Amino acid sequence: RQSCFQTGVDLLAQGHVKESILAMEAEVQNSPENADAWLALGLAHAENDEDVKAIIALNRAVQVDPENLDALLALGVSHTNELEQGAALRHLRTWISKHPQYRSLVPPAEPDPPGAQVPSFALHQQVTAMFEQVSRARPDDAELHTVLGVLYNLSYEYPKAVESFREALRVNPDDYAMWNKLGATLANSMRSDEAIDAYIEGLKIKPNYVRALANLGISYSNQELYDEAASCYLKALSMNPEASHIWSSLRVVFNCLNRPDLAQKTELRNPEVFRGQFDF
């Protein structure tokens, strides 16, 4: 019999995120010391545009296995999405200080004094300098470009972030999550047309990618392409009907379409009631 963990991994690879999460939750209940299962659960929540849930699972992965580099990196990204700069920076600093290939290339991270509040600006400068130094030595490591893109997003240096994510895609053009990060950064730079193209590239690789669908909906909405936005939100909600923030975005779109009748139906929290009116 296949383990819940392997079932969850297979389901996630096939794009069945909701079912994957259920399998991973069963696995961590049965084996709470399985750091890989906590990591996979966290990554699945992140794909589902649920960073708060992702952070809880990823923290458990790091508690069980403090050397889990993938979990540390994912925590840096999810905390960035939640605008929690200090936490993001600390996880990224820990990631590079524990990385077997890179820790020798950077000065050892000084632990913060107990109870100390290191100013985010100083911490950001320190961590960014570490990653820039290593990235110059290892220009073909997509993970380093990814982290730099996240760091530049934290400091609102969007042109540099775009460049970093494009470098990561040069190394690994089939990374659907990277296309989403590029799209989100372009959207933050008020470059909605280019953002839409980037999200679509990611969705070509993984059509059931809830996070990219939700972001694509936002970009269509910003372009006043409300029917297209509604279709994106509904496709995302058909896979994650509990995503209250996506329901809120859909309601806004229906109001922009001057369809209060449809806006009212969002209270039902059932994407199927819109089937036939929108393509999803």
Instruction: Show Cβ contacts of residue 206 under 8 Å, excluding neighbours closer than 6 positions.
Output: 15, 176, 212
Chain-wide mean pLDDT for the chain?
A: 93
Return the exposure string of 24-44: e unless at least 16 CB atoms fall within 10 Å of the residue's CB, then b: bbbbbeebeebbbbbbbbbbb
Stated pTM of the model: 0.88
Q: What's the DSSP call for residue 184?
A: H
Residue 162: pLDDT above 90?
yes
Which DSSP symbol is given to 110? P
Q: What is the largest CA-CA distance in the chain?
A: 61
Greater confidence, 105 or 216?
Answer: 216
Distance, CA of 143 to chain centre: 14
Residues forming a β-bridge with 275: 278
* CA–CA dist 117, 124 (Å, integer): 13
Per-residue pLDDT, averaged over 256-280, amounts to 96
Q: Is residue 1 scored above 60 in pLDDT?
A: no
Domains along the chain?
Answer: 1-65 (1.25.40.10)
Residue type (1 letter), 269: R
pLDDT of residue 118: 60
Residue 113: pLDDT band (50, 70, 90) is low
Q: What is the pLDDT of residue 14?
A: 83
Best CA proximity match to 88, nearest among 37, 123, 135: 123
Tokens of 217: 């909906």
pLDDT of residue 114: 58
How far is residue 157's CA from residue 63's CA, in Å, rounded to a whole number?
Answer: 32
Range ranked top by mean pLDDT from 55-64, 99-108, 128-137: 55-64
Distance CA 276, CA 280 (A): 9
Pull the structure tokens for residue 117. 């509040």
- Quickly count: other Cβ atoms within 10 Å of residue 243's Cβ: 21
| Residue 116 scores a pLDDT above 80 | no
49: left (phi over 0), alpha (psi -120 to 50) or beta: left
Handedness of CA 71, 73, 74, 80 (dihedral sign): positive
